[in-house]
Homo-oligomer: A and B are copies of this chain.
């Protein structure tokens, strides 16, 4: 198994653990990686032999500590590059994900740490996601999905949890829903979860699905 392939599998497992819970099903991985379930089964056995994952046939797969450390290392590099691309090269936060994906797998530890230092050891990426520190530790989770915010409450957007879908991010940018923006929940439709949000002077509604990607911290 090539390093690239290993890294792709591990990162996808981590993402799915967060999205759908652990353990992750073979079929989910097959869907996301667009390969056959049979291929996934095969790969998971090999990753298991390498001690990167815990794999129980017919049940699912989860990262071991070793696998998790590997993913955190990549996440750190990925998000550091995102900060650089956005802040210094002026590439939009909607676009930096893909570019950072290309760079993260080819960054040495030395370059990663010098880069972190150059950037002033940022705590979050342009989407508001936390950057693991030098020891790969993450802070306690602080934000909450916007659906949890009471109507009429003001809050600050801290994070958009879907970094991959650049169309979504462009759409949110158009609505003024970007990390750091001050917003207020005007209305939450109980029927379908649509949420009406005031951002700046404009008032816009977003679907429950889109809202699920928006994390906020209530203003005090």
Contacts and interface: CB of A to CB of B under 8 A. Distances in A.
Interface in A94-126: 99, 102-103, 105-108, 110-111, 114-115, 117-118
Interface residues of A, number: 18
Interface stretch (A41-49, A83-91, A128-136): A83-91
A160 to B, nearest CB: 22
Contact of A114 (B91, B105, B114): B91
A13 B210 CA distance: 51
A118 B85 contact: no
Contacts of A103: 103, 106-107
A99 B107 CA distance: 8
**Majority secondary structure of chain A interface residues (helix, strand, loop or mixed):** helix
Given A85-B111, A111-B85, A102 B106 contact: yes
B105 A89 contact: no
A67 to B, nearest CB: 23
Interface string A133-170: 00000000000000000000000000000000000000
Contacts of A107: 102-103
Contacts of A91: 110-111, 114
A141 to B, nearest CB: 31
B102 A114 contact: no
The 8 A-B residue pairs with the shortest CB-CB distance in the complex, in nearest-first order: A89-B114, A102-B106, A106-B106, A99-B111, A89-B118, A103-B106, A88-B118, A99-B108
23 contacts: A85-B111, A85-B114, A88-B118, A89-B111, A89-B114, A89-B115, A89-B117, A89-B118, A90-B114, A91-B110, A91-B111, A91-B114, A99-B108, A99-B110, A99-B111, A102-B106, A102-B107, A102-B108, A103-B103, A103-B106, A103-B107, A105-B106, A106-B106
Given A85-B114, A89-B115, A102-B107, 6 more contacts: A85-B111, A89-B114, A90-B114, A91-B114, A102-B108, A103-B103
